[in-house]
């Protein structure tokens, strides 16, 4: 089992590859299959926000809520799509937004 898997664009993948992550660069239309393969073979899965946007929302939400493998949405090197603002989401969920 791989420790860390990265799913995203080739440019961003280069850095993760150098850091020792197993890298997946999905072809158009193969994001879901690639995501499932990475989740079944790694302890931690990092997926760029751009790639995560191509997943069905229920699939992504379930993966982010699961404890294993730990799945995180990260920013790509070019910053094409920002990752979700988890702090703001938590503040809204706890009812402390604006403090």
- How much is the pTM? 0.80
Domain boundaries, the chain: 2-94
Binning pLDDT at 50, 70 and 90, where does residue 6 land? Answer: very high
Assigned CATH topology for domain 2-94: Rossmann fold (3.40.50)
Q: What is the pLDDT of residues 36-63, one digit of tens each?
A: 999 999 999 999 999 999 999 999 999 9
In this structure, what token pair is assigned to residue 87?
A: 């702090």
Per DSSP bridges, beta strands 42-48 and 70-74 are parallel
Q: What is the pLDDT of residue 26?
A: 96
Q: What is the pLDDT of residue 94?
A: 66
The phi-psi region of residue 62 (left if phi > 0; otherwise alpha if psi is between -120 and 50; otherwise beta) is alpha
Q: What is the pLDDT of residue 87?
A: 65
Q: What residues contact 42, with CB distance under 8 A and at least 6 apart?
A: 1, 2, 3, 4, 5, 22, 69
């Amino acid at each position: 089992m791989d420790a860390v898997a990265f799913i995203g664009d080739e440019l961003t993948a280069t850095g993760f590859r150098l850091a020792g992550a197993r890298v997946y660069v999905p072809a158009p239309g193969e994001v879901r299959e690639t995501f499932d393969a990475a989740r079944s073979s790694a302890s931690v899965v990092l997926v760029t926000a751009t790639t995560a946007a191509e997943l069905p929302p229920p699939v992504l939400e379930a993966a982010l809520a699961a404890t294993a493998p730990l799945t995180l949405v990260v920013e790509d090197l070019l910053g094409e799509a920002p990752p979700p603002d988890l702090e703001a989401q938590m503040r809204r969920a706890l009812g402390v937004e604006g403090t």
